[in-house]
Chains A and B, each alone.
Chain A
Amino acid sequence: MSFWPIAVLELYPVFSWLHDLLASIGLPSAWLQPLIYLLLGAMIFGILSLIALFLVWWERKIAAHIQQRFGPMRHGWHGWYQTIMDAVKLLQKEDIRVVTRDKVVFFWAPVICFVAAFLAYVVMPWGDGLIVADLNIGILYILAVTTFTVISLLMAGWGSNNKYALLGGMRSAAQVVSYEVPMVVSILTVIIFVGSLSMVDIVKSQSGLLFNWYIFRFPFGPIAFITYLIAATAEVNRTPFDIPEAEQELVSGYNVEYSGMKFAMFFLAEFVNMFTVSAIAATLFLGGWNGWEFIPSWIWFLFKTLLIVLLLMLFRWTYPRLRVDQLMEFAWKFLIPVTFANLIVAGIFKYLGWYW
């Protein structure tokens, strides 16, 4: 029944304890593995929800400090549980449904968005041995499941039956499809050197400190990192590439008609997606869990990921938004040629063996 091996080496004692516990209360053995998978899923879901709540708070604080404000201050120390209160408020709010909506599409859009955001964590290496399933298609799997985010945005745009929402959905589709190409090509630049798509293999190939990481593999490493970061910013629809929800033009884009719980799902998924692309960048370019041995590997992973999240947040609050045509021109006329040239250079270096 094992489609893929479960590679939770460090968590193994916990799981065997759980397994024994569940077996001792008389559950049939056929149920045990699915149950453990379920628990694992719930665990990752909980951790990610906490991270997303933290990121919302963090973003508000950073935005406030950049703009010489304090941001949330009332709830706890520097308002640390502000977002928790916000979430509770959102869950209690009335679920406003537009009469002219497309019922089924309107309902499923936030659900698909929410699920798609979490699917990537099946193969995310949180630390040495902390991975749910080390698929041999790892990174490709992430790229595949994240495409559902776009579909959910399109569904939200269509289902709302609102011109702003529709425009937002269409813009996001155009943007994501365009920026997916440079993103994938930047990732391929790393894959050339790893020789495997598995996330664990990618991290293991950069074991050691600083100069074993792909960001420091000159000259193509830093270029690939920068192009990936730009494309990833566009993929998660953040400023300077946030035209799908440009407040001044589109009110707030695809989610303008959503409220309450459904809006919360979009909002949460957005931050989870930001964390996902940062985690991919940390895994691919910053050596994932690698670092000094005396610090646990998962702290390294979180630290590097949050560093890139910080970078994305700084982008958001310091750069102006691009216009639609500038955005497309930048992707097709600059980013794609650069990433392809970079890929070719990387291929030549690999062929000649000019790397360490």
Chain B
Amino acid sequence: MTESADIGIVFWVLSFVILVSAFMVVSLKNIFHCALFLIMCLFSVAGIFVLLDAEFLAAAQVLIYVGAVAILMIFAIMLTSNLASRKIRQVNENVSVGVFVSVLFALASIILIAQTHIWHYKTDFTPVENSIVILGKYLMIQYVLPFEVVSILLLASLIGAIVLARKERS
């Protein structure tokens, strides 16, 4: 059993888990279960990052998506009494159109990517040791302007969220 075969198996297992759990997220009737499958999906994506030697990204993915986003989602589900108890329909009358467009797009991308025969090309790329240092330098040196603009973006979303969610005193 070679190294690439091992990673290949792990990759296929993770991909399968991602796809199945993502499908569960959009198809299950119990929205709490959807949220749990979303967590599983995001966690498996972190697994893919580990396979790609991007450990920092994997940890950040778990910390942000599982640790913060998904928990807040579950929190919101629990706080919304209607959502928590009722079985909801995940589809509406446009489902056939949506499925059609999705399948069309998926087929188009598969056909396009298959034409490239991309799997014949091997890169000599070796993952960077201790990628956090380089990542940090990129963020704080080369890409510091977008990084700062993101802080403006977060400020704007924070203010917006407060404005929308706050109870009005009349």
Contacts and interface: CB of A to CB of B under 8 A. Distances in A.
Direct interface between A and B, CB < 8 A: yes
Interface string A145-164: 10110110011011000000
A147 B66 contact: yes
Contacts of A104: 33
Interface in A111-155: 135-137, 140-141, 143-145, 147-148, 150-151, 154-155
B66 A151 contact: yes
Interface string B60-87: 1011001110111011001100000000
Contacts of B59: 137, 140-141, 143-144
Given A158-B32, A169-B78, A140 B67 contact: no
B50 A144 contact: no
A158 B63 contact: no
A148 B36 contact: no
Contact of B63 (A135, A143, A151, A176): A143
Nearest to B74: A154
A148 B63 CA distance: 10
A62 interface: no
Given A143-B63, A158-B78, A170-B78, A150 B132 contact: no
B138 to A, nearest CB: 16
Contacts of A166: 78
Contact of B67 (A3, A105, A158, A180): A180
A140 B70 contact: no
A348 interface: no
Contacts of A151: 36, 39, 66, 70-71, 74
A144 B59 CA distance: 6
Given A141-B59, A144-B59, A144-B62, A150 B78 contact: no
Contacts, number: 83
Interface residues of B, number: 31
A24 to B, nearest CB: 22
A137 B55 contact: yes
A176 B66 CA distance: 13
Interface string A226-238: 0000000000000
Contacts of A25: none
Given A151-B66, A173-B75, A180-B67, A136 B36 contact: no
A137 B56 contact: yes
Given A1-B6, A105-B32, A136-B55, A147 B71 contact: yes
Given A105-B36, A137-B56, A144-B59, A1 B72 contact: no
Contacts of A147: 62-63, 66-68, 71
A104 B30 CA distance: 12
B3 A154 contact: no
B66 A148 contact: yes
Contacts of A53: none
A143 B3 CA distance: 29
Given A136-B132, A147-B62, A177 B32 contact: no
A30 interface: yes
A157 B84 CA distance: 12
A102 interface: yes
Which 10 residue pairs of A and B lie closest in terms of their CB atoms, listed nearest first? A147-B67, A144-B62, A140-B59, A144-B59, A144-B63, A137-B55, A137-B59, A173-B75, A154-B74, A136-B130
Given A136-B129, A137-B56, A140-B56, 4 more contacts: A1-B6, A105-B36, A135-B55, A144-B60
28 contacts: A1-B6, A102-B32, A135-B55, A136-B56, A136-B131, A137-B55, A137-B56, A137-B58, A137-B132, A141-B59, A143-B63, A144-B46, A144-B63, A147-B68, A148-B66, A151-B36, A151-B74, A154-B71, A154-B74, A154-B78, A155-B36, A157-B78, A158-B78, A170-B79, A173-B74, A177-B67, A180-B67, A197-B132
